[in-house]
Amino acid sequence: MIRIRHLEIHLVHSCNLCCEGCSHYSNQGHKGILSLEEAERSMGLWNQRLNPHTFSLLGGEPSIHPDLAGFVALSRKHWPNAHLRLVTNGFFLHRHPDLPAVLQRDPNVCIYLSIHHDAPEYQNKLRPVLDLLRNWHRTHGIRVFTYLSFKHWTRVYHGSGNTMEPFQDGRPRQSWEQCPAKYCPQLFEGKIWKCAPLAYLKLQDAKCGLSDSWKPYLQYQPLAHDCTDEQLKQFFRREEEPSCGMCPANPERFKLPLPLRT
């Protein structure tokens, strides 16, 4: 078993928000959910080889999934000692009245509420979510952390849809050093991917038909479950690699437009 700091899994690829420049491409209108059966198979391929300190359930927006509580239980089955983190914008948590009881039974799990804007329209919409989570904390002892995502937003590509283009700074080491997701490998389709922008890039290409600029990154090879122990160790030891060049060497911060869909 190799100890790693973090592993993430997408429960859904869609999102109710439309955050410009989302590094998971969840603003691009993707569809599809991960079934519990598929997740069971994928986790089972790695649960005897990887020991993550933190295992994150996210998307997209994970609370779109109709069986969110089932994923918490499944994740705990495969990684009994990991800190489980449910990363959500919170707007659909009310759809899961069975979730608090599942979380209450697990002292090493938390809801990680990602807040994507400070505009009054967004904050007004968020107020019932905060009230719900306060109630869950008060009555069930659910641990909740909030993160002001909009304050740390940077571009990881230019454009959108079929006009999307990678950065071409040519400094993959500096891109890796600046990367906010450099310790966020993805479990996707039974394989381990270095990061979300690489893992879900092929979904974007299939939907939009990306330019030839993306070909080197679409050829990225994730880690398969039948890799050797040495290949596994090397994968998690590796820092920058050529694929890191698709992202900026110098982060570009910008004011995130209001992400509420009309």
The 10s digit of each residue's pLDDT in 40-67 is 999 999 999 999 999 999 999 999 999 9
pLDDT of amino acid 176: 97
pLDDT of amino acid 35: 97
Using DSSP's 3-state secondary structure scheme, residue 217 falls into: helix
Identify the CATH number of the domain defined by range 2-246: 3.20.20
pLDDT of amino acid 253: 92
Neighbours of 121 (CB within 10 A): 10
pLDDT of amino acid 154: 94
pLDDT of amino acid 109: 97
pLDDT of amino acid 197: 97
pLDDT of amino acid 53: 98
The reported pTM is 0.96
pLDDT of amino acid 85: 98
pLDDT of amino acid 229: 97
DSSP codes, 88-132: E--TTGGG-TTHHHHHHT-TTEEEEEEE---SHHHHHHHHHHHHH
pLDDT of amino acid 233: 97
Question: What's the number of CA atoms in the CB half-sphere (13 Å) around residue 82?
Answer: 27
Contact (CB, 8 A) for 32 and 60: no
pLDDT of amino acid 18: 96
Q: Where are the domains of the chain?
A: 2-246
Parts of the chain with a pLDDT under 50: none
Angstrom distance (rounded) from CA 99 to CA 142: 10
